[in-house]
Amino acid sequence: MKLLLGLGNPGSEYQWTRHNIGFLFIDAITHKYGIKTATNNSLCWWAKVEIAHQSIILAKPLTYMNLSGQAASWLLSHYSLSPHQLLIIHDDLDLPWGRLKLVEKGGSGGHKGVVSVQEMLGTKNIPRLKIGIGRPPAGTDIVSYVLGEFSPQEKEQLNLILDQAIKAVEMALSEGLSKAMSVFNKRNLCDL
């Protein structure tokens, strides 16, 4: 992996929503490691950091979620990378709150940002880190839920979840994706 792409929506009104957990991950890892250089264009913001003795590109699309593939495609082309060198970080409704799941490939699960990236890159063989946001309470619209702000309890647990997500990525970079999957896919982080 050479490129970590956190999915979310630009704009302060979306900053603390469940759908922006990919952006929050990029912010957290940027805070931990600092950045060498940062820049942006009309499609994305990106920066370089040193993680596990490797130069890694961190990026956030500046398009809205359903156009995230434009940023992914441009970044891979700009840095001459292939889709398997990309790790997408995004929210997942089908995982309980706080659960992490690394995957090497697979379907989008209906996530519009993932659909966009897979369509633009022409493959489902793209590694991803899914961060569970759980399902909405009965009677709550899914769009309202994912675009809704974190509950007070979720906000209290968010730093722990992002910290564990960073550790999962660090292990994937230093020891390989399979090793990180064997360790982090089994944990329910909110029970730690």
Structure confidence at residue 192 as a pLDDT band (50, 70, 90):
very low
Q: How large is the average pLDDT for residues 74-87?
A: 97
pLDDT in tens, 18-43: 999 999 999 999 999 998 779 999 99
Residue 190 has pLDDT above 60, yes or no: no
pLDDT at residue number 37: 79
Q: Among 19, 53, 78, 90, which one carries the catalytic annotation?
A: 19
Which of the pair, 23 or 192, is modelled with greater confidence?
23
pLDDT at residue number 189: 58
The reply to whether 19 belongs to the active site is: yes
**77 C-beta neighbours (distance < 10 Å), count:** 9
Mean pLDDT of the chain: 94
Distance CA 53, CA 63 (A): 31
Beta partners for residue 59, in sequence order: 5, 46
Which two structure tokens, joined as six digits, stand for 78? 């700009």
Strands (E), the chain: 3-6, 37-40, 44-51, 54-61, 86-92, 100-103, 128-132
